[in-house]
Each structure stands twice: as structure tokens, then as C-alpha cells.
Amino acid sequence: MSIQFPILTSTNYTIWTVKIKAIFKVQGLLETIEPRTGTVVDPKIDGFAIVYLYQGMPEALVMQVAHLSTAKEIWDALKTRFVGVDRVREARIESLQHEFDVLKMKETDTIDDFSTKISQIASKASNGEPFEEKTLVRKLLKSVPRKRYIAIVATIEQFADIKTMTFHEAVGRLKAFEERSGDEDKPVSGKQEQLLYTYEEWKAKSNQERRYGKGKMGTESSQKNKGKGKVVDREKKEPRVKKDQSKIKCYRCDELGHFATSCPNRNKETNDQSNLAQYGGPVLNMMTVTRSKEDVVFF
């Protein structure tokens, strides 16, 4: 099986050691760099381990450790070089531990982003020795924003055993809650938005009709107030302009300035018809009527 070896740099020593240990474990070479007490390593197997270590190191670094004879010596030399002596290592661990303690999730971060930050800082602060799962779980639950995750955090703390819960399980539960709450916070769109907008329009129109006298109640109110004051167009809120009677033409006498209902000729015809009905018969030539009903002269 072809194996792709990671190359050691000045910044990836912690993750490089994790990958190298995994490769050595699969190949049966882990005891060459982490031997058990009283174990004697076969020189042939130790030679394979040295070759593998050289595959994961830059050429300049290989020349610096080429004088060492065993894989364990090379491993310890790299550890001393990149981790430092005890005092430097302790100072570095304390700094990373403080960074781990003050780490908080931002409002713009997702659970995936924040869990990755926790894993990275924890791997550096542990100096090759992983943090306990319960420590990572408590850090995760304590550092997420309470307003957004108070419901799921309270549920986990109440019904789950944090001491036995793995970090990945806690991340999975928070991520599922994040996706669920994210769907509920999404604004409506498409047909739902169109329906809501139509309802708002209808509501505004109904309020306007009730305010300006439309509908049944408005009709009764307008009928009661009919003829009082000036006529107002309730929708436009402007007074109606009365027609100029000087331009109105009577269809009875074809004269301007009045309606047919108030036509003077109509009144005259009504009086003539009344007189004819009272004094009997049509007038042949000309009729004169005096104030006295008995004094009637016909010509």
C-alpha cells in the first residue's frame, strides 16, 4: 500500500506527530518510537522506522539528525527541537491553556467553525496528549451563546451524561439544533410572502373602508348625514364641485340655466291645464281669466 507521508514544518509538529503515529501503528512500528519498558526493538524493524521518519522530514532537517542511530533518538530530537526544553514547553502550554479557557463562540460563528477552533487549540495545548472528552464537551456547552442555544444546552445538561458523552456527539446535537432553528428563522418567500402581502393589503383596505364610511355601517351613516353641509368625497377627502347651472340646458324648453323639473314653462302649462279642467273645454281663440271665478269672458 502506497502511503503519503506528511512533511514536518515549523508550525505543524503536533498534527505531524499524530499522523506519523497512525502510520507507524498500521505498519507495526509504533514500538520503535514509543517502546514499552523492557522491550528490545529489532534492528531491521528500527531501520524501517528510520526510513519512514526521513520520508516525513525536509532534507535540511534530515541532515541534522542523520548522525543518530535509532528511530527513538530521532523522535526525541525532533520533540526537543520543536517542543523545546521543559521551561519553554511549560510557558507555551500555559499560553495555549489560557487561550483555550477564554475562547468564546461569536454570534457569526457556526458550530462547525467553533468546534474546529476548540480542537485545534486543545491539540496544541495538550503537547501531544489529548484532552479528556468531558473537558472538551463542557468547554463547548459553556462557550456557545446562551440566547441561541439555551434550550439545547439545558436539555443536554439535564438528560445526558456529560461525563460519558463524546465531543463529537455534543457537536452533532448542537449542529442539529442549529440547522433546525436556522430553518425557522428564515424569512418567508415565494407564494407564502405573496399571501401575507395580499392579506396586509386586504386589511388596510378594510380599515380604510370602515374609516371613510364604506360598507353597511358607512352607508347608513352617509344617508343620515345626507344634505348636511357640503358633500364630501370620502375616499378622496375633497369636496365635490357643484355643477354650474348656467351651462345646464332644459330638455323641455331648450333654455339654459335650469333643470326640466324647475322649468317655468312647465309651471305655466300646469296652471293652464288646471284652468281648462275647471272652466270646461278648450279655448277656441283667446281666453282671459280674471281674479273672480264667475267673471270669465270668451272671444
Band the pLDDT of 146: cuts 50, 70, 90: confident
Domain of residue 122: give its range. 87-185
Domain final position from 133, 153, 185: 185
Q: Average the pLDDT over each of 13-27, 94-108, 119-133 and give the range with the smallest value.
A: 119-133
For residue 79, pLDDT over 70 is answered with yes
Which range among 2-6, 167-171, 181-185, 211-215 has the greatest average pLDDT? Answer: 167-171
Residue 71 lies in a domain: yes
Query: In the chain, how many domains are there?
Result: 3
Mean pLDDT of the chain: 75
Residue 55 lies in a domain: yes
Cα-Cα-Cα-Cα dihedral sign, residues 143, 147, 150, 152: negative
Residues 93 and 139 in one domain: yes
Residue 197 lies in a domain: no
Q: Average the pLDDT over each of 28-32, 56-60, 91-95, 133-137 and give the range with the smallest value.
A: 91-95
pLDDT tens-digit profile of 168-205?
999 999 999 988 886 555 444 454 444 444 556 667 76
Residues 103 and 175 in one domain: yes
Residues 35 and 59 in one domain: yes
Each as own residue / partner, the long-range contacts of residues 32-40 (CB below 8 Å, 24 or more positions apart, any chain) are: 32/70, 32/71, 32/72, 33/71, 33/72, 33/75, 35/72
Residues 99 and 111 in one domain: yes
What does the alpha-carbon distance between residue 155 and residue 254 come to, in Å, rounded to a whole number? Answer: 92
Domain final position from 83, 99, 130: 83
* φ, ψ (nearest 5 deg) of residue 298: -110, 145
Residue 213 lies in a domain: no
Q: Beta partners for 239? A: 232
